[in-house]
Amino acid sequence: MAQLNYLSFESTSRAYLPTLRLSQLGSWVTAANYESGPIQEAVRRIGRKVGETILLGTVTDIYVEIVDILRAKQPLQYYTKVGTKVLLFHSGVGWPFLGGVSDEDVARIYRRTVRLKKIDRGVSSLRKLKAGIEEVRRDGCCLSRGMVTRGVGVVGMVMPTPPQHRPLAIGVTGPMERIERNLSRILAAIRAENARLAHFASTID
């Protein structure tokens, strides 16, 4: 099966993962196992291409929660752990989610974040945040420069998911200088996998 490209071997976990080619043989992949199959394959393919730490996040109220991590091969890398929650407004993985909702929803999330005293209006105004989110909508991605940790860059983008599946976004993260230097390669890797996933997700009910 692996020789026919129906399974891919993941050396870290020493496990075989189903590829998109295998899914085309039938409808066995559903929204329930989409994340453990095609999404995992896409994350690992991106990781092999860019060599940086890969974060997978989802929306939890006013936060983005990290649900999976693929560690970098580089000696100098950004470290966080699964389960970490960061404000949507203060995260390079969170901003792509905000770029996909209406201005009214952005304002609602902002008001709730302020009401919970998680951000200060004087430091992070809604007008300034909306301007940044509009850039994300225009570019289809977010380049975060030290938004969470000084000196760390994150390239964030929403990943295609089937109906009823929780929203997911990917973040490629590492030292800011390295991320900026390899930005074109990182974006190309994510967009290539997103194109594959978009076609595949559209076939799942």
Query: Tens digit of pLDDT for each residue in 144-169?
Result: 998 888 899 999 999 999 988 899 99
- Structural domain includes residue 91: yes
Task: Report which of residues 22 and 189 the model is more confident about.
Answer: 189
The answer to whether 42 and 31 are in contact (CB under 8 A) is no
- Structural domain includes residue 2: no
pLDDT at 136: 96
CATH of the domain at 97: 3.30.450.40
Query: Tens digit of pLDDT for each residue in 89-113?
Result: 999 999 999 999 999 999 999 999 9
- Structural domain includes residue 1: no
Query: Cα–Cα distance between 90 and 129 in angstroms, integer?
Result: 10
Per-residue burial over 154-178, b = 16 or more CB atoms within 10 Å of its CB, e = otherwise? bbbbbbbbbeebeebbbbbbbbbeb
The answer to whether 54 and 70 are in contact (CB under 8 A) is yes
- Structural domain includes residue 130: yes
pTM attached to this predicted model: 0.81
Q: What is the DSSP string of 22-75?
A: HHTT-S---TTTTIIIIIHHHHHHHHHHH-SEEEEEEEETTEEEEEEEE--SSS
Q: Which domain holds residue 112?
A: 7-201
Non-local CB neighbours of 42 within 8 Å, separated by 6+ positions: 159, 193, 194, 196, 197
**Paired tokens of 26:** 């039938």
> How far out from the chain centre does Cα 74 lie?
20
Q: How many domains does the chain have?
A: 1
